[in-house]
Structures are given as structure tokens and as C-alpha cells.
Amino acid sequence: MGRQSCCYKQKLRKGLWSPEEDEKLLRHITKYGHGCWSSIPKQAGLQRCGKSCRLRWINYLRPDLKRGTFSQEEENLIIELHAVLGNRWSQIAARLPGRTDNEIKNLWNSCLKKKLKQKGIDPVTHKPLSEVENGEGNGSNKPSLVGHHPIHQYTSPPPPPPKLSSNWFNPEFSPPMTASYGPLYYGTTTGGSANNTTWGLVQTQTEEEEEEEEETKWTELLNSPLLMAAALQNQTPQSYYNIEIKSEPCYLTNSSSSSSSSNDMWWPQTQQQQLPLRHEPLQNPDICGKDMQTLTAAAFGHI
């Protein structure tokens, strides 16, 4: 006895959004904010369910979306974050301003996975494939420490995205790994007076100890924007994931997207820079009213 879709009750439209629907939704949210999603379709005169409206706004209409192809920096960051967070796309997206979880998920599934495999890295565990295969072979089914941390409190609120230092993507930069290969482990060193973060190999511990300590470390780390940023800037195994991808920083360009839809919209760069991090709710229309009106004109004036 499966549940009916939320669109089932009424005869609601499904499928691709038309430019007219986009305009209605955008105008409504511009004017009133989104407030309660379930009431938006009615108020905006849309034959859609609230969920659909929310998704459309988040994934397509939000003014602070970056769009365009991902830069190599972004791809590297996604890989690093995936190693830490696993398939927690929304958490990953929270650290990539202007990118949506859906976009990142799609990129991962269609592109990054393959690239990692080509590099001989298992995209699930982020370990070398040979190691993973051997691990399976000898019956070791212990979950990897990477990508499957029992992190439950890693964002609230999400920290600002880490600034990308030159170190972070410097091809010459190599992290302080204690061995050439091994499971990635990111934690705090205990000897120092400050929160020294380091990449290294997993120490031998009981599973319970590991898990408990891991959770504490990750919770601390991910709840601390400063720690996270510092960690990402300075202590990242960049060489591990030094994947050759196109290297042009291509934010805010619409030229390179291979199959962009006909109603693509591109927002002025100044707009992007001024807008807050994506997860800040846009419930107060005053926050972005003017901007949004400009955007509405920009978005629909030239279709």
C-alpha cells in the first residue's frame, strides 16, 4: 500500500517547468518570499505541488546560483568533502556557494566517480581500488573510516565555505602523510597546544574507541568554520586526488555548458557576490527584493 505522490490529490502538473511557470514562481517569491511552500502554488497560481516549487526554486531559480561548469577547484573540493561526508550532498553543497546538492550529486554520479575510478581510487571508500578489492577478498568488512563517519551534527548552521588558498590547489603541495598510501584519516593531533589538524594514517584502535573519537573529532571540526577552513586550506591530500580536469575557472559563464536548456538564466556576477550563502533563508522579501526585481527583468526580459 504505497503512498500517493503529493501531486496525486489534485490534478497537478508534473515534469519540466515552462518559462511561464518559472516566471510565476519567481515573481511570487520575489514579492512575498517563499514562506510556507505548501501554500505557494495556490498563491502563485501554479498547478504544482509545494515540493515541486521548492525544488524548482532551490535548483534553478534561486538568484545566488552559480551555474556553469564546475571548476577544477570545485571538483577537487567535492571529492575531498565526499571523502569526509559521504553522500551527504546537502552538506557538501553548503560548502560550495552557488551550487546545489542536486547539481553536485549529478556531477558525482556522472563524472567524478569515473574519474576517481580511472585514477584507481574507489569512489565509495576513497581508498586505492586494489586495497578495497583485497579488503573484500580477505573478509574484512569493516566500514571505511572515510566517507562513512557517524557524523550527526556536522552543520548547524553551516560554516562559511572554506576560502581556497593557493596551498590547497597547489600541485606542488603535498600533505603531511605519514606514509605514501593508506586510508585517509583526518583528525586532531593530541600533542599540540592548539587544534592541530593533520592527515595521516588510521591508528590502531578498537572500533568503539575509533568511532567515539572519530565522532568527537568530526563534530568539533565540522562545527567549527575556522577549523574546517584551516584544515581544508592547509592539510589536504591534494596529491591524492590530483585529477586532470579542465582548469579554467568558469564561474558565471554560459558558454561551456554542453546541453544547457533553452531557458537558462545567468545572473550578474555582482549579484552573486552580494548574496548570502545559499542556505540562508530568503524568507524576508526585503532582503533581496530589489535584487530579485532586477533579476526578474534580466531573466525574463530577454526570452
Partner DNA sequence: AAACCATGCAACCGCCAGTAG
Partner DNA sequence: CCTACTGGCGGTTGCATGGTT
Q: Which residues bind DNA (CB under 7 A)?
A: 2-7, 13-17, 36-38, 48, 50-52, 54-56, 59-60, 69, 87-91, 101-103, 105-107, 109-111, 257-262, 281
Task: Specify the residue, 16 or 194, whose C-beta has the smaller distance to DNA.
Answer: 16
Residue 298 beta carbon to DNA: minimum distance, rounded to whole angstroms: 17
In whole angstroms, what is the distance from residue 63 CA to residue 303 CA? 17
Task: Specify the residue, 69 or 235, whose C-beta has the smaller distance to DNA.
Answer: 69
In whole angstroms, what is the distance from residue 214 CA to residue 147 CA? 12
Report yes or no: 98 and 64 within 8 Å, Cβ to Cβ.
yes
Residue 44 beta carbon to DNA: minimum distance, rounded to whole angstroms: 13
Residue 231 beta carbon to DNA: minimum distance, rounded to whole angstroms: 20
Report yes or no: 155 and 94 within 8 Å, Cβ to Cβ.
yes
In whole angstroms, what is the distance from residue 122 CA to residue 195 CA? 30
Determine if residue 67 is left, alpha or beta; phi over 0 gives left, psi from -120 to 50 gives alpha, anything else beta.
Answer: left
Residue 219 beta carbon to DNA: minimum distance, rounded to whole angstroms: 15
In whole angstroms, what is the distance from residue 11 CA to residue 144 CA? 46
Task: Specify the residue, 86 or 162, whose C-beta has the smaller distance to DNA.
Answer: 86
In whole angstroms, what is the distance from residue 213 CA to residue 188 CA? 10
Q: Coil, strand or helix: which one is 96?
A: coil
Task: Specify the residue, 4 or 138, whose C-beta has the smaller distance to DNA.
Answer: 4
Identify which of 245, 193, 239 has the alpha carbon closest to the alpha carbon of residue 69.
Answer: 245
Task: Specify the residue, 17 or 241, whose C-beta has the smaller distance to DNA.
Answer: 17
Residue 104 beta carbon to DNA: minimum distance, rounded to whole angstroms: 9
Task: Specify the residue, 256 or 269, whose C-beta has the smaller distance to DNA.
Answer: 256
Number of CB atoms found within 10 A of residue 201's CB: 13
Residue 114 beta carbon to DNA: minimum distance, rounded to whole angstroms: 7
Helix axes 19-32, 285-300, angle to 10 degrees: 160
